[in-house]
């Protein structure tokens, strides 16, 4: 059975309260019973001592019988008390037992022995009520001996204690009811912030990610939870905003080449064209299509790189070999641009070969685009304290500082007018950043007046120091 938190806490509190009440009730009952018992015991003992002393002051049994009222007065006032005095011959001198119970004849405390609590005996009357009493011998002045028996019926005490026990049970029941009610109300009240959080959480949808958990009333235990949920919501909100922005940028970037395609074809169809013009049109159509497929391929790569299932194959790569191969691959383009590529590498890097080539190629193709003819691009790789750094440095007019931290955003281009160019998707650097994140590394850039340098920081392989 699934119990609510309120029910669980209420049950806990009620169990604790009932346990405490029971222990207190039981203890009180025991203490009161014991007090009553000691009180009666002491009274019986004191009465017996007193009566013996009085008897010892009297002359004879007749004298004692004559002072009967005085002796009875000692135990008078409580119906439960009883007194019997018998002489040695068995003659009843005093017999005052209002409740008519039996008194003990034996054992008798001898004249010369002090009456102590242990001398008191306990027995039952014919109704089963407990009687406590003591019989003691006393020597009269004339040397005769009499037996004085004093007793008290505990019937009234038992009835009183029974009543008291019933009262304790009733109080316990009342306490139980109050505990259930109060616990339920207080627990419900204490859990209000939790319900408020649940309500806020249920109001959250993809469109309403700006909702936050209320922190004002939250108790300290829930504060950390609410704060981390709010942080999570903030991250989700940012993530959704990024995805939304990405979708908008993607749509915009695909619209341009498709618009170009359509526009050029429409213009061409206005009138009859020469074969050369049709060839030029098809050539430009193919260029636009290339741009669209490049954008789609880049977007797919970024989406795959973000998926948790993305599989990398890390190898120990000789950076000199790899950078020389990449430079070789770009030879045609660099010759065309009149730029030389110089490689200076002496490190091994633990990376996925394809991703490494892709990252460096993206940086190199950018560098080629911005390096003035006759200059050289430097590809370098070296060990550092944090791992291995691979850098692509090119001369050129540099990048303004305000653009530097946005360069790695998707679709960001410094020169917006170039965005129409069939060669630019604005995704190259964000792919580089994704690749470095997959490797647990990072990418950084610095640029001043006439030099720009992008550096890939590869961390050392796990468990190995650089
Ligand atoms: N070496 C560089 N010198 C000057 N500007 C650069 C350099 N590298 C990148 N940039 C600037 O950063 C922008 C973003 O580069 P990114 O590689 O992400 O996109 P892109 O080169 O425009 O498109 P793609 O890489 O798809 O061809 C570029 O548009 C350019 O303005
Ligand atoms: Mg680029």
Tell whether the model's pLDDT for residue 223 goes beyond 80.
yes
Whether the CB of 429 sits within 6 Å of ligand 1: yes
Domain boundary among 288, 308, 328: 308
For ligand 1, the distance from its centroid to the CA atom of residue 102, given in whole angstroms, is: 119
How far apart are the C-alpha atoms of 408 and 434, rounded to whole Å? 9
Per-residue confidence (pLDDT) for residue 424, from 0 to 100: 79
How many whole angstroms from 428 Cα to the centroid of ligand 1? 7
Residues facing residue 94 across a β-bridge: 85
182 DSSP β-pair partners: none
Do 208 and 125 fall within a single domain?
A: no
Same domain for 205 and 244: yes
Residue 434 CB less than 6 A away from ligand 1 = no
Residue range 179-187: average pLDDT?
92
Task: Print the domain residue range for 303.
Answer: 196-308
Q: What is the pLDDT of residues 331-346, one digit of tens each?
A: 999 999 999 999 999 9
Model confidence band, residue 376 (pLDDT cutoffs 50, 70, 90): very high
State whether the beta carbon of 425 lies less than 6 angstroms from ligand 1. Answer: yes
Same domain, 360 and 244: no
Same-domain pairing of 316 and 443: yes
417 falls in which pLDDT band (50, 70, 90)?
Answer: low
On whether both 260 and 318 belong to a single domain, the answer is no
Domain presence at residue 185: no
Question: What's the burial of 454, exposed, middle or buried (CB within 10 Å: 0-12/13-18/19+)?
Answer: buried
The residues that bridge with 315 in the sheet, in sequence order, are 351
Nearest atom within ligand 1 for CA of residue 408: 18
> Can you give the pLDDT at residue 348?
95
| Ligand 1 and 81: CB distance under 6 A | no
One domain, residues 386 and 240: no
**Comparing C-alpha atoms, which of 332, 439, 342 is closest to residue 394?**
342
Ligand 1 touching residue 25 (CB < 6 A)? no
Of 37-46, 76-85, 266-275, 313-322, minimum mean pLDDT range: 76-85
Residue 169 in domain: no
- Shortest-distance ligand to the CA of residue 298: 1
Is residue 189 situated within a structural domain?
Answer: no
The pLDDT value given to residue 369: 92
Q: Write out the two tokens for 99.
A: 């409740």
Report yes or no on 166 lying in a domain.
no
Distance between CA 16 and CA 387 in Å, rounded? 61
Which CATH number characterizes residue 291's domain?
1.10.287
Does 191 fall in a domain?
A: no
Chain centre distance of CA 308: 28
Atom in ligand 1 nearest the alpha carbon of residue 392:
1
pLDDT in tens, 430-440: 999 999 999 99
Q: What distance in angstroms lies between residue 127's CA and the mean position of ligand 1's atoms?
A: 111
40 assigned to some structural domain: yes
Which single residue is written with the structure tokens 């002051």? 57
| Same structural domain, 143 and 21 | yes
Residue 415 Cβ < 6 Å to ligand 1: yes
Q: Which atom of ligand 1 is nearest to the CA of 419?
A: 22
Whether residues 31 and 154 share a domain: the answer is yes
Confidence of residue 411 (pLDDT cuts 50, 70, 90): confident
Pocket of ligand 1 contains residue 299 by CB under 6 Å: no
pLDDT at 459: 95
Same domain, 144 and 28: yes
Half-sphere exposure of 180 (CA within 13 A, CB side): 5
Give the mean pLDDT of 97-120.
85
The last residue of one of the domains, among 275, 308, 341, is: 308
Q: Is 453 in the pocket of ligand 1 (CB under 6 A)?
A: no
Q: Closest Cα to residue 386, out of 335, 421, 422, 436?
A: 436
Confidence band of 281 (pLDDT split at 50, 70, 90): very high
Atom of ligand 1 at shortest range from CA of 431 = 18
If one counts the domains in the chain, the total is: 3
Evaluate: CB of 452 within 6 angstroms of ligand 1. yes
Q: Tens of pLDDT along 347-372?
A: 999 999 999 999 999 999 999 999 99
User: What is the whole-number distance in angstroms between the Cα of residue 420 and the centre of ligand 1?
Assistant: 13
Four-point Cα dihedral 38, 44, 48, 54, nearest 10: 110
| Ligand whose nearest atom lies closest to the CA of 432 | 1
Is 373 in a helix, a strand, or coil?
coil
Average per-residue pLDDT in the chain? 90
Whether 346 is in a domain gets the answer yes
394 lines ligand 1 (CB under 6 A): yes
pLDDT band at 138 (very low <50, low <70, confident <90, very high): very high
| H or E element at residue 417 | none
Task: Report the phi/psi class of residue 274: left, alpha or beta, with left for phi > 0 and alpha for psi in -120 to 50.
Answer: beta
> Residues 57-70: pLDDT tens digits?
999 988 988 888 88
Ligand 1 centroid–CA 367 distance in Å is 8
Instruction: Decide: 452 and 370 in contact? Cβ < 8 Å.
Output: yes
Distance between CA atoms of 35 and 41, rounded to whole angstroms?
10
Q: Relative to the CA of 425, which ligand 1 atom is closest?
A: 26
Q: Of the candidates 308, 327, 348, which is a domain's last residue?
A: 308
Q: What is the CATH number for 329? A: 3.30.565.10
Confidence of residue 464 (pLDDT cuts 50, 70, 90): low
| 345: CB partners within 8 A, 6+ apart | 319, 320, 322, 323, 379, 380, 381, 382, 390
Residue at 125 is within a domain = yes
Residues above pLDDT 70, as percent of the chain: 97
Once rounded to an integer, what is the mean pLDDT over residues 265-292? 92
Neighbouring C-beta atoms of residue 88, cutoff 10 Å: 11
Residue 143 is part of a domain; what is its CATH number? Answer: 3.30.450
Assess whether 64 and 119 both reside in one domain.
yes
List the residue whose alpha carbon is closest to atom 6 of ligand 1: 366
| Co-location of 350 and 431 in the same domain | yes
The pLDDT score that the predictor gives to residue 207 is 80
Q: Pick the atom of ligand 1 nearest to 396's CA.
A: 3
Ligand 2 center–CA 428 separation, angstroms: 4
Same domain, yes or no, for 393 and 432? yes
């Amino acid at each position: 059975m699934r119990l609510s938190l309120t029910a669980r806490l209420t049950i806990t509190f009620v169990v604790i309260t009932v346990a405490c009440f029971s222990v207190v009730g039981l203890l009180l009952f025991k203490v009161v019973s014991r007090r009553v018992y000691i009180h009666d015991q002491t009274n019986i003992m004191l009465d017996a001592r007193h009566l013996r002393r009085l008897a010892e002051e009297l002359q004879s049994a007749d004298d004692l019988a004559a002072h009967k009222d005085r002796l009875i007065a000692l135990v008078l006032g409580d119906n439960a008390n009883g007194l019997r005095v018998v002489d040695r011959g068995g003659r009843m001198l005093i017999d005052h037992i209002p409740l008519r119970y039996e008194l003990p004849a034996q054992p008798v405390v001898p004249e010369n022995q002090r009456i102590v609590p242990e001398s008191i005996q306990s027995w039952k009357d014919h109704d089963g009520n407990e009687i406590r009493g003591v019989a003691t011998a006393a020597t009269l002045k004339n040397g005769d001996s009499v037996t004085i028996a004093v007793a008290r019926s505990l019937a009234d005490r038992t009835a009183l204690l029974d009543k008291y026990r019933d009262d304790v049970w009733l109080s316990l029941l009342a306490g139980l009811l109050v505990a259930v009610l109060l616990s339920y109300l207080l627990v419900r009240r204490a859990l209000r912030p939790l319900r408020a959080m649940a309500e806020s959480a249920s109001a959250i949808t993809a469109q309403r990610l700006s909702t936050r958990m209320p922190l004002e009333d939250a108790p300290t235990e829930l504060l950390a939870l609410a704060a981390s949920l709010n942080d999570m919501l903030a991250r989700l909100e940012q993530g959704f905003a990024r995805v939304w922005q990405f979708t908008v940028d993607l749509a915009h970037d695909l619209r341009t080449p498709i618009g170009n395609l359509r526009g050029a074809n429409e213009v061409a169809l206005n009138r009859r064209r020469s074969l050369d013009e049709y060839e030029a049109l098809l050539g430009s159509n193919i260029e636009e299509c290339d741009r669209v497929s490049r954008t789609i391929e880049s977007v797919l790569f970024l989406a795959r790189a973000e998926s948790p299932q993305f599989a990398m194959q890390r190898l120990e790569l000789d950076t000199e070999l790899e950078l020389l191969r990449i430079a070789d691959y770009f030879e045609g383009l660099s010759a065309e641009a009149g730029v030389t590529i110089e490689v200076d590498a002496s490190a091994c890097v633990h990376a996925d070969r394809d991703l490494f080539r892709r990252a460096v190629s993206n940086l190199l193709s950018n560098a080629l685009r911005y390096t003035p003819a006759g200059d050289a691009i430097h590809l370098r790789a070296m060990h550092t304290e944090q791992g291995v750094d691979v850098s692509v440095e090119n001369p050129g007019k540099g990048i303004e500082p305000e653009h530097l931290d946005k360069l790695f955003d998707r679709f960001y281009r410094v020169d917006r007018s170039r965005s129409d160019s069939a060669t630019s998707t604005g995704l190259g650097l964000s792919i580089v950043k994704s690749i470095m994140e997959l490797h647990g590394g990072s990418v950084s850039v610095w640029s001043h007046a006439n030099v720009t340098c992008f550096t890939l920081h590869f961390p050392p392989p796990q468990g190995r120091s650089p």
